[in-house]
Structure 1
Amino acid sequence: MAITDPIADMLTRVRNAGKAKLNSVDIPGSKLKTELAKVMKSEGYIRNYKFIKDGKQGILRIYLKYGDNQSHVILEMNRVSKPSRRVYVSASDIKPIYNGLGVAILSTSKGILTDRQARKDNIGGEILCTIF
C-alpha cells in the first residue's frame, strides 16, 4: 500500500508510540525522515535514532524520550504543509511556536532547519511540521 504523505505517517507513528509508552518505533526510512529525526534529537524531543539498512528502502528506528512520571516529551505534533496545500514562508514571516517553547521544522535551500536557525540565517522555506 502506497503512503501518500510519508511525513504525516512518521509523525503519527511517533505520536501513537508515545501514547502507548513504547521504547522505540520503526518507520520506513528515507533521507528526509532521517533529517527530521536528526532535528528532533538535537532539539531534545527524542533520545536517539538509527537508520537500519535492510536491502530495500531501510528502516528508521526512533527511540522515544519520556519525562518525569513517564509522560511523553512531545505534547503536540502537527503537520503544517500537506501534499494538497503547501505552506511556504519567508524568513521575516516565520513565527515562534508557543513563544519559542515549541519548534517548527522547515525545508529550506540549506536543508532541514528549525525556525530559530532559519530566522538566524535569514532563510525562508516550506514549513513541514510543528512540535511542542
Structure 2
Amino acid sequence: MKNYLWNMFANIQNGQLIRRNVIFQRRKKICEEFLKILWAEGFILGYKIDKKNENQVKIFLKYTNNKPVIRSIKFLSKPSRRLYQSAKQIWKINSNKSFIIFSTNQGLKAVTDCKKLGIGGEPFVAIN
C-alpha cells in the first residue's frame, strides 16, 4: 500500500525540482485520497483522471514566485517502524510550522481535522 504513496510523493518532489507543471501518477484509491487533502490545503493546483488512460492521474503542481509550494516531504511512519499518536499528542503539534497527514479510523485526515475531531492515528507524511 505505501509503495504507491512513496512513489507519488517522490514523483511530486522530482517534478517540482525540474519545474514541471503536470506529472502523471498511477491511479490508486489511497493516492487519490492524499491528493484530495493536498488540494484542499493548497499544496497542489488540482488533479484529474487522464482521459486517454484511466489508470493514470494528472497532478497539477503549484508554484509561488517560481518556487515549489512543497519544499520538503518527510515520511514519519515506515513499515519497519510504525508510529502512532494519541489525540493528546496531536494537540502538542504546532500545525503552523508543518502539515501532517494522519491515517485514522475515520480515513485520512489532516492534523487540523484530527484536532477538531479529537482523534489520533498514524502519521504518514510531514510537508513543509
Instruction: Letter of the 2:98 partner, please give it.
Output: G
Fraction of identical pairs, as percent: 31
Task: Report the TM-score, using the length of structure 2 for normalisation.
Answer: 0.90
Task: State how far apart, in whole Å, the 1-side matches of 2:26 and 2:83 are.
Answer: 25
Offset of 1:101 from its aligned partner? 3.3
Paired residue total:
126
Structure 1 stretches lacking a partner, 5+ long: none
Offset of 1:102 from its aligned partner? 2.2
Task: Report the TM-score, using the length of structure 1 for normalisation.
Answer: 0.87
Structure 1 residues 25-64: aligned runs within 5 Å: 25-52=23-50, 54=53, 58-64=55-61
Offset of 1:52 from its aligned partner? 3.3
**Once the two structures are superposed, what CA deviation does each residue of 1:64-103 show, in whole Å capped at 9, x if it has no partner?**
00001x1111111111111222211111112435x51321
SS at match of 1:32: helix
Structure 1 residues 104-115: aligned runs within 5 Å: 104-115=100-111
Task: State how far apart, in whole Å, the 2-side matches of 1:20 and 1:14 are.
Answer: 10
Moved over 6 A (4+): none
* 1:66 aligned partner: 63
For the Cα contact (< 8 Å) 2:35–2:47, is it kept in 1? Answer: yes
Structure 2 stretches lacking a partner, 5+ long: none
